[in-house]
Structure 1
Amino acid sequence: MILGIDHVGLATGDAEGVGVLLAALGLSKVEAGVAEPYGVSCDFWQFGPDPRLPAVEVVAPVAEGSSIDGRLARNGPGLYHIAFEVDDLEAELTRLRGNGFTPVDAEPCQGARPGMTVAFLYLRKPAGVLVELVHYRTRRRAPAP
């Protein structure tokens, strides 16, 4: 089950510059990490420290051949993906594949936050959106009523 929006990802080659913009908007950097399987750094910005609040994730390449190199070359910096926290990653991957989403990852990978496992899917039509499913070893939010 999808539990809620975890974060919205922004792709950039200038994480520090985007950080200045987010700070000017009143957000604070609450976490940072590297998603090594993707070759990217991930800075998480929020309006408060509560881990249940949605975040803005600033994604920047840290390794040659990172997962966002092609995206930055084609489209430049900007909105990259929307991430949803789920209670059962495999079940949601199966459900969304059955609803027309195309898996990007062959299997789930370690994310940039401790205890975070992620998998990406793409839906070309009608929205052309990249979706990240996020599962935490320790759940951050409760299921919707």
Structure 2
Amino acid sequence: MILGIDHIGLATPEPLRTGAFLETLGLSPVDGGVADDYGVTCEFWRLPGQGPDIELVSPARPNSAIEGRLAGQGPGLYHVAFVVDDVEAELSRLRGSGLSPVDASPCRGARPGMTVAFMYVPRPAAFLVELVAYQESAERRV
């Protein structure tokens, strides 16, 4: 079941410059990490006391999962991430509703205790969705 919005992902090859812009808007960095399976560095930013977070996603290595997106469409809105109670169950449910899985199975995310899987919403939205679940010991973001 979808529990809420965890974060909004922005693709950027320049996280320092994009972060400076987010600071101008009043956001502060809260955490980050590397999602090794995707080869991306993720920085999470937040308005004081408010969510959802804004995630800056940038390549951590050549041939990262985001390089094609940056080369084809440039920087900008990348995905919306929804917190779910069970990633596998939501992958199955949404696949049955016409979404196309990008990931065959869930992967480790950039935050501690985070498991993620991506799905693509075809027409009319042409939109990337990230499903996110946190281990019970990890802080829930909703």
Partner residue in 1 for 2:108: 110
> How many Å separate the matches in 1 of 2:30 and 2:121?
30
Report the 3-state secondary structure (helix = DSSP H, G, I; strand = E; otherwise coil) of the residue aligned with 2:37.
Answer: helix
Contact 1:30/1:49 (CA < 8 Å) preserved in 2?
no
The counterpart of 1:81, out of the listed 75, 79, 82, is 79
Contact 2:88/2:105 (CA < 8 Å) preserved in 1?
no
Contact 1:81/1:131 (CA < 8 Å) preserved in 2?
yes
Partner residue in 2 for 1:22: 22
> How many Å separate the matches in 1 of 2:141 and 2:90?
16
> How many Å separate the matches in 1 of 2:16 and 2:56?
9
Report the 3-state secondary structure (helix = DSSP H, G, I; strand = E; otherwise coil) of the residue aligned with 1:38.
Answer: coil
User: Kindly, what percent of the aligned residue pairs are identical?
Assistant: 60
Post-superposition shift, 1:90?
1.0
| Runs of 4+, deviation exceeding 4 Å | none
Report the 3-state secondary structure (helix = DSSP H, G, I; strand = E; otherwise coil) of the residue aligned with 2:98.
Answer: coil
> How many Å separate the matches in 1 of 2:9 and 2:106?
18
Task: Please list every run of 5 or more consecutive structure 1 residues that lacks an aligned counterpart in the other structure.
Answer: none
Tell me the matched-pair count.
Answer: 140
* TM-score in terms of structure 1 length: 0.93
Contact 2:6/2:141 (CA < 8 Å) preserved in 1?
no
Cα separation, partners in 2 of 1:34 and 1:49, compared to 1, 3 Å: farther
Report the 3-state secondary structure (helix = DSSP H, G, I; strand = E; otherwise coil) of the residue aligned with 1:30.
Answer: strand
